Amino acid sequence: MSSKAKRRVFLTIIFIVNVIFAFIVLFPILYCFNVSNMTKTEIYAYPPQFFARAFSLDNYRTALQLAPFFRFILNSLIVSGVCTAAQMVTGALAGYCFAMFEFSGKNVLFTIMLATMMIPSQAIIIANYLTISQWGINNTYAALVLPYLASAFAVFNMRQAFLSLPRELYEAALVDGCTRFKFFYSVGFPLIKPALGALGIYTFLDTWNYYMWPLIVVNTVDMRTVQIGLGMLQGSESTNFGPVMAGAMMILLPSIIIFVIGQKQLVEGLTAGAVKG
Amino acid sequence: MGKKNGGAQPGAAVSVGPKKGKKTAFRIIEPYLYLLPALILFVIFVFYPFVKTIVLSFSITTPTGTFSMWNGVQNYIDIFTDVSFWNSMWITFRFAIVTVILSIVLGLIMAIVSNEKFPGRGFFRTVYSLPMAISAAAAAAMFTFILHPTVGTLNYVLHTNIGWLTNPKWALFSVEMVTVWMRVGINFIFLLAALQSVPKDLYESAELEGAGFFRKHWSITIPCISPTLFFLLIINVISALQQYAQVRMMTDGGPSNSTRVIVFEIFEEAFTNGRFGVACTESVILFIIMMILTRIQFNLEKGVTY
C-alpha cells in the first residue's frame, strides 16, 4: 500500500471511531428527546420504539400541568443570572487588584482566597444551611444565591486575565492621570471581555446545575429550581416516563443553547490558564 | 505569572504627580476596597461555615442544628465504629476510582481521535464536550429510563434482563457509568487543549523513525500532557468524592445501600436523622481525605519530570 492509501485507511478508521463515540454521547439525549414526543403506548411498546410516530407536545403539556416548569425555569434563570453576574463582578474586582496593585498583605490575602478552593462545597453546605435558617430566609432567592456570589475560581481566573494585559498600557494610562478604577472599568474590563465571557458561561452552566443547595434551602414548590423540579416530577411520576423526559428536555434546552453559543469562548477561557507545559 | 516586577513603579510614578497629598490615604486603602466584596462573602460562606463545621463535629446538636453540648471526640469514635460509615467510604472510594480513571481515559481517547485532520471534526468536538452542559438531574432522568429493566432500551439491545438500578450487584456500576458519561466532556476539553500544545515536530520526528499511532501517543503525547493529566486527576477526584444528585435521583442510595456514597450519608444524618453534629463530623473527614489526596498528588507531580 502506498503511504497515501495507508493514510486514507487510517483516517477512515479514525472517523469510524469518532462516529461510535459521538453515538454514545448523543444517543441518550436524542433518544430521550424522541421519547418525550411518544404516547404512553409507544413508550411501553415491545420491542422498544426509537422514533415517535408523530411529533407531539402532549407530554410537555402534562409535565407543565404536573409541575410549574416555567416557574422553575424562571427561578433557575434568576438564580444563575444573579450568581453569574455577581461572580464576574466580585471576581474581576479582586482579580484586577491582585494582578495590578502592590499592597501589604497581598500574598497572604491571595493565599487565603486560593485556600477556599481547597474547602469542598459539600463539606460546608450543612453549616451554610444552618446560617441561612438562622437568618430565617429559607425559601427565598437570597438563600439560593448568597453562598455563590463569589468564587475563588473566578478571582483566580480574572487575575490571570488581567495579568495578560500589557503592563505598559496600565502604566501609561496612570501617567496620563487615569485613576486606577477608571482604568479598570474603561480599559481593563473591555479588554478582558473574552475571559469574562468564558467565566460567565462556565458559572452559568455550573449554577444552573446546582442540586444539593437548592434541595435543602427551599421546600416550597414555587421556589424550586429546575433540577429539583425535575427530581420532584420523576419522584411522583415513576411509571409515566413521557412527561419526565419532556421535563428533562425543557431543563436541558437553556443550558445546551448557552453551551453551543459560547462553546469556543468557554473552551479557550477555561484552558488558557490550566494547560501549560 | 512572571510579570510581578515593576508593580511598584506606576504607584511611585503617579504619587509624584500634582495631586499627591490628598490622595495618599485613599491610595493605601484602595486595593482592599476591590477585595472587600469577595472577601466578605468568603468569610461568611466559606471560612465561617468551615470553622462551624469543625466545632459542630465535636458536639451534639438539637434536631434543628443548634449547638447543645460538647461531645469531645465521641462523634468521631461513633463514626469510626459505625459499619454503615465504612460501607459508605468503601463505596465512595470505588466510585471515585472507576469514574475518575474511566472519564479521563475516555476523554483522552476522544481528544486523540478528534485531533486528527478529517472533515467534520469540529462537530465531533462539540459533541464530546456537550455532556458538561447536561445537568446531573437531567442525565439521571434520562438514564433512569434507558436503564429501566422492562421498558428500558439497554436490556433490549444487550438481550439481557438486568435490573441495572435495582440489583445491588449492578446499581453502583450503572451509576458509575452514567457519571463517566457526565464527566467526560470537561476532561475532553482540557485534554484536547493539552494535545494541541504538544509540539508538532516531536510527532514528525517520531514518524520518521517509524513509530506507529499507538507508539507515538504512548511515548510522546502522554509524557507531554502529564501536567494536564495531574491537574485533571485532582479536580476529578475532588468532584467524584462529592457526587450526589445522580445517586439520589437514580437509586436513592439503594438497593440495599449499595450506592450510598459519603455525601448521601452526610445528607441523611443531617436532614433525615437530625444529627447535624455527626453530619459535620463526616464532612470534616471528607475534607481531610481530600486534603490528603491532593497532597499526595502534588507530591507525585513533583517527582515526575516533564
Please give the pLDDT value at position B21.
Answer: 57
pLDDT exceeds cutoff 50 at A140: yes
Burial grade of B24 (CB within 10 A; 0-12, 13-18, 19 or more): exposed
Which of the residue ranges A37-51, A75-89, A218-232, B143-157 has the most confident prediction, judged by mean pLDDT? A75-89
**Is A185 a residue whose pLDDT tops 90?**
no
Q: Tell me: do A78 and A54 sit in the same domain.
A: no
Question: Region A201-220: what's the mean pLDDT?
Answer: 91
A117, A233: one domain = yes
Nearest chain B residue to A90 by CA: give it: B38
pLDDT for the residue numbered A276? 44
Output the average pLDDT for chain B: 86
Q: Which of residues 124-143 of B touch A (CB under 8 A)?
A: 124, 126-143
Determine the residue among B1, B46, B160, B282 to mutate to test chain A binding: the one whose Cβ has the most chain A Cβ atoms within 10 Å.
B46
Q: CA B58 to CA B43: how far, in whole Å? A: 22
Across the interface, do A205 and B132 touch by the CB < 8 Å criterion? yes
Residues 59..78 of A with a Cβ closer than 8 Å to B: which? none
Q: Is B274 on the interface with A (CB under 8 A)?
A: no
Amino acid at B43: V
Considering the domain architecture, whether residues A108 and A8 belong to the same structural domain is answered as no
Instruction: Report, as an integer, the average pLDDT of A3-16.
Output: 88
Q: Using a CB–CB cutoff of 8 Å, tell me whether B242 touches chain A.
A: yes
CB of B306 less than 8 A from some CB of A: yes
- Residues A101, A31 share a domain: no
Contact B37 A89 (CB under 8 A): yes
- Asked if B45 reaches chain A (Cβ–Cβ under 8 Å), the answer is yes
pLDDT digits (tens, 9 = 90+) for B54-101: 999 999 888 888 888 898 888 999 999 999 899 999 999 999 999 999
Picking from A19, A21, A50, A181 by the largest number of B CB atoms within 10 A of its own CB, the best residue to mutate is A21
Average pLDDT (B278-297) is: 89
Measured CA to CA, the distance from residue A213 to residue A211 in angstroms comes to 6
**Domain-located, residue B277:** no
Kindly report, residue by residue over A216-273, the tens digit of the pLDDT. 999 999 999 999 999 888 877 767 888 999 999 999 988 899 898 888 888 887 776 5
User: Which residue type is seen at B256?
Assistant: S
Other Cβ atoms within 10 Å of B225 Cβ, number: 25
CB B35 within 8 A of CB A109: yes
**B146: chain A residues, CB-CB within 8 Å:** 28, 31-32
Grid coordinates representing A187? 480599559
The predicted structure's pLDDT at residue B22: 60
Torsion of CA A161, A166, A172, A174, to 10 degrees: 20
Closest CA to A92 of A148, A166, A145, A154: A154
Facing residues of B70 across strands?
A: B59
Q: What is the mean pLDDT of residues A22-38?
A: 92
Say which of B6, B49, B64 has its CB closest to residue A127: B49
Q: In terms of domains, do A49 and A128 share one?
A: no
Mark whether A126 and A211 lie in a shared domain: yes
User: How much of chain B, in percent, has pLDDT values that exceed 70?
Assistant: 91
Asked if the structure places residue B248 within a domain, the reply is yes
The shortest C-alpha distance from B274 to chain A (Å) reads: 11
- With an 8 Å Cβ cutoff, are A126 and B17 in contact? no
Degrees (nearest 5) of the Cα angle B33, B38, B39?
Answer: 75
The verdict on B224 touching A (C-beta cutoff 8 Å) is yes
Which pLDDT belongs to residue A48?
78
Does A27 share its domain with A125? no
How many domains does chain A divide into? Answer: 2
Tell me how crowded residue B65 is: count the other CB atoms within 10 A of its CB: 23
Q: Do A231 and B113 touch (CB under 8 A)?
A: no
* CATH code for the domain of B295: 1.10.3720.10
Residue with cell 493514510: A7
* Strand partners for B69: B60
Band (B53; pLDDT cuts 50, 70, 90): very high
Q: Determine the distance in angstroms separating the CA of B290 from the nearest CA of chain A, rounded to an integer.
A: 8
Which residues are CB-contacts of B136 (< 8 A; sequence separation ≥ 6)?
A: A209, A211, A227, B182, B243, B245, B246, B249
Closest residue of chain B to A212, computed from CA coordinates = B245
Looking at the structure, do residues A39 and A125 belong to the same domain, yes or no?
Answer: no
Q: Answer whether residue B157 is part of any domain.
A: yes
Containing B192, the helix (H) or strand (E) segment is helix B171-196
CA distance B166 to chain A (A): 14
Domain count along chain B: 1
In a domain, B99, yes or no: yes
A127 is in which domain, residue-wise?
59-274
pLDDT tens per residue across span B233-242: 888 998 899 9
Q: Which of A91, A152, A259 sits opposite B130 (nearest CB)?
A: A259
**Rounded Cα–Cα distance for residues B269 and B61 (Å):** 12
Please give the radius of gyration of chain A, using alpha carbons only, rounded to the nearest integer: 24
Q: Has residue B121 been placed in a domain?
A: yes
Residues A78 and A103 in one domain: yes
How far apart (Å, rounded) are the C-alpha atoms in residues B139 and B248?
12
Inter-chain CB proximity A211 and B135 less than 8 Å? yes
How many Cβ atoms sit within 10 Å of the Cβ of residue B305? Answer: 6
B17 band by pLDDT with thresholds 50, 70 and 90: very low
* pLDDT for the residue numbered A272: 67
- Looking at the structure, do residues A166 and A105 belong to the same domain, yes or no? yes
**Partner-chain contact B135 A209, CB within 8 Å:** yes
pLDDT for res B9:
43
Same domain (yes/no): A51, A70: no
Confirm whether B247 is domain-assigned. Answer: yes
**pLDDT class for B10, splitting at 50, 70, 90?**
very low
**For residue B232, what are the domain limits?**
82-262+283-303
Chain B partners within 8 Å of A124 (Cβ)? 45-46, 49-50, 53, 283
Mean pLDDT value of segment B195-218: 84
In this prediction, residues B153-163 reach a mean pLDDT of 87
Percent of chain B with pLDDT strictly greater than 90: 48
Please determine, for residue A145, whether its predicted confidence score (pLDDT) is greater than 90.
Answer: yes
- CATH number at A75 reads 1.10.3720.10
User: Residue A81 and residue A204: Cα distance in Å, rounded?
Assistant: 7
Residue A125 sits in the same domain as residue A95: yes
Examine the pLDDT at B138 and tell me if it is beyond 90.
Answer: yes
Q: pLDDT band at B4, cuts 50/70/90?
A: very low
**Range 95-134 of A in CB contact (< 8 A) with B:** 96-98, 100-103, 106, 109, 112-113, 116, 118-124, 126-131, 133
Per-residue pLDDT, B226:
85
What's the confidence (pLDDT) of residue A273?
A: 58
Cβ contact, residue pair B31, A96, below 8 Å: no
